[in-house]
């Protein structure tokens, strides 16, 4: 059966539903958390222990937070722009990486390969004493 014949048999409504689903899942906006990001981590809390060493990272509120150096931190959405998988991690070479399909991004969210070509949403960080604020 040819595609045109299949679509004629399925009807216009089914074609619209399939098209809308595909197009909706391919947009970058569909792959970013809704609403602003603004929360604070206490770096002395046991739940923040992963951030005690350079290269360590943790995931909170849909955001991956990484310690990139002495008193320096970076944050990105956990949702990959490639296919919307929630599998972004941090690599110690200052790269974000999606374990689902191998998308790679630099620390600023720029894509480093074909699967990362849409970029990654990056958030700001601000350190005051032992409080790390992550925000849009």
Question: What's the structural domain count of the chain?
Answer: 2
70, 10: one domain: no
The predicted-structure confidence for 14-68, as pLDDT tens digits, reads as follows: 444 433 333 333 333 334 456 799 999 999 999 999 999 999 999 999 999 999 9
What's the pLDDT score for residue 126?
A: 98
Query: What is the domain extent for residue 24?
Result: 1-30
44-47 long-range Cβ contacts below 8 angstroms, 24+ apart: 44/130
The predicted-structure confidence for 4-14, as pLDDT tens digits, reads as follows: 555 455 554 44
13, 75: one domain: no
pTM for the full predicted model? 0.75
């Amino acid at each position: 059966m040819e595609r045109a014949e299949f679509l004629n048999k399925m009807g216009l409504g089914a074609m619209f539903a399939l098209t809308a689903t595909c197009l909706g899942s391919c947009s970058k906006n569909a792959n970013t958390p809704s609403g602003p990001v603004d929360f604070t981590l206490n770096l002395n809390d046991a739940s923040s222990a992963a951030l005690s060493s350079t290269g360590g990272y943790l995931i909170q509120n849909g955001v991956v937070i990484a310690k990139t150096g002495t008193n320096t931190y970076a944050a990105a959405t956990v949702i990959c722009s490639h296919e919307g998988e929630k599998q972004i991690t941090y690599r110690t070479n200052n790269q974000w990486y999606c374990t689902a399909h191998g998308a790679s991004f630099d620390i600023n969210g720029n894509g480093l390969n074909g699967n990362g070509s849409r970029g990654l949403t990056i958030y700001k960080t601000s350190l005051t004493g032992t409080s790390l604020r992550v925000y849009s």
